[in-house]
Amino acid sequence: MSAQQPFTGRPVERRTLLRLALAGPVAGLTAAGCAKPAGDAAGAPTTAISATVRGDAPLEFFNFDGGFGKEWTNLPLDLYRQKYPQAAVKLTSGQQLPQQLQPRFVQGNPPDLIENVGLDTASLVGQNQVLELESLLGAPAWDTPGKTVAATLLPGAADAGRYDGKKFAMPYTYNLSGIWYSKPLLDKHGWQYPKTWDEMIALCARIKAAGLAPWTYQGKFPGYLTVPLLMSALKAAGPQVAVAVDNLEPNAWRHEALVEAATRYHEVAAKGYLLDGTTGLSHTQAQTYWAQGKAVFIPCGSWLENELGAVVPKDFGMTAAPAQGLSAADKLPFEAISGGPGGELLVAAKAKNPQGALELLRIILSKQSMQNFTRLTKSLTVVSGAADGLDLSPALTSMRQVINAAGSHVYPDWSFRTWYKKLLKASDDATGALMARELTPQQWSKRMQDAADRTAKDASVKKFSR
């Protein structure tokens, strides 16, 4: 699962973003994996960051070996080695970051740069364990002469990962969380992707009558389903419902839009529209069954294609779509989506080589490295033009279409999911219980409000607001 970034409360203008990120072929571009270092690495003046890097200091990058894998790290690490040949550069990987890295933070020897999925960033910020990144934003871009790092980023990337206004986490991907389906499968049956929940429930009945399971999801990780559920509520009520939830306001989770969104997802389970055994499936199991055609719809982020790999048939036609709206009275259009800058790279403040980590992060955010990332992972990045010259898969093409259609209505994930880990777990558990029919929608709403109230009253938890 990919990490999510705080909801800023403001939709980001995305028409310009997509025009820059997916501008199409550019004549004469060198293949990303074969290009020589440009800009700084080719002899440009030393930057304020590189001036403080000890060329012989060891450097460790901890990679989350999940949906994006680790092959993408080879190029930026090699570029670092080329510039600092005396440095011993080490890549370590894992999937259980709390268990693997929290002891190292306590012991005072964390990795220098961390691709974070699972660590409580808010707590690390409060403990002064994470380095502030403003100097990185103002540094010269690695391979775009005349521009700072910030000037090469797509809208929203410089603002994501802030706590009390200060930049501590750097996104590197551009995420889209939505509902996925096989377009050839829908076309074969003459089905249209539903825009409202009334249409979805009606289609589910036809899908089941055709002998297929309408839905599956990553049952052991209900957060995959929470994201579109919250998006349906956001469409109905507008962004203020997310602000109230994130700010831990009394009765925020009791809003009728949240209850109604929970009701519609509960209806999928109650009417037998889930693939049998879904609630016990891991993310890889559910996604594999979906790719095998055993279910029609699955919620997921933009990493789905890469995570599935060769499991997906070549003619499957992976297609992304927005979550359903609740009614014609929704305050946001159907085309509104959950997405924006995602992923999270952290520089450990008390690591042995944080300045080297900043330099590696500057290299990662180069157009060269991010184009290589897109080529290998089939995922978009936060760097402008990083998809130029690349052939886009059907999945990436569909994401481009969805983002273009959304226009300014692209909304990052709700901030409570990043700020308050216990509340995040409570929401995952409650959604899992909702889909297992152990909670009614009203009970789901009450459980979430109780969890939010406990968080608000817990003096040991640092509070954030927007």
pLDDT of residue 413: 87
Distance CA 237, CA 253 (A): 12
pLDDT of residue 27: 27
pLDDT at 55 over 50: yes
Which pLDDT tens digit goes with each residue over 93-130? 999 999 999 999 999 999 999 999 989 998 999 999 99
pLDDT of residue 71: 95
More confident residue, 14 or 29: 14
pLDDT at 36 over 50: no
Structure token digits, residue 134: 């403003």
Q: How many helices (H) and strands (E) does the chain have?
A: 19, 13
pLDDT of residue 134: 95
Which pLDDT tens digit goes with each residue over 217-258? 999 999 999 999 999 999 999 999 999 999 999 999 999 999
User: In degrees rounded to 5, what are phi and psi of residue 225?
Assistant: -85, -30
**pLDDT band at 135, cuts 50/70/90?**
very high
Mean residue pLDDT of the chain comes to 88
Helices 421-435 and 441-457 meet at what angle, rounded to 10? 170
Contact between 196 and 162 under an 8 Å Cβ cutoff? The reply is no
pLDDT of residue 303: 85
Query: How confident is the model over 46-62, as a mean pLDDT?
Result: 85
Range name among 160-169, 340-349, 386-395 with the lowest pLDDT average: 386-395
Contacts of 42 (CB under 8 A, 6+ apart): 36
Structure token digits, residue 65: 């070996």
Structure token digits, residue 214: 């309408």
Query: How confident is the model over 166-194, as a mean pLDDT?
Result: 95
**pLDDT band at 378, cuts 50/70/90?**
confident
Pairing of strands 318-321, 173-182: antiparallel
Query: How confident is the model over 72-101, as a mean pLDDT?
Result: 96
More confident residue, 348 or 1: 348
pLDDT of residue 47: 63
Q: Which of 91, 88, 126, 127 is nearest to 111 (CA)?
A: 91
Query: How confident is the model over 282-297, as a mean pLDDT?
Result: 96
Contact between 265 and 436 under an 8 Å Cβ cutoff? The reply is no
Query: How confident is the model over 12-26, as a mean pLDDT?
Result: 35
pLDDT of residue 164: 86
pLDDT of residue 67: 76
Which stretches of 29-76 are assigned E, i.e. beta strand? Answer: 59-64
pLDDT at 43 over 90: no
> Domains in the chain and their CATH numbers?
31-172+343-391 (3.40.190.10), 176-338+413-457 (3.40.190.10)
pLDDT at 9 over 90: no
Structure token digits, residue 72: 């993408």
pLDDT of residue 19: 35
Query: How confident is the model over 315-330, as a mean pLDDT?
Result: 96
**pLDDT band at 46, cuts 50/70/90?**
low
pLDDT at 342 over 90: no
Contact between 413 and 338 under an 8 Å Cβ cutoff? The reply is yes
pLDDT at 156 over 50: yes
Query: How confident is the model over 67-79, as a mean pLDDT?
Result: 93
pLDDT at 158 over 60: yes
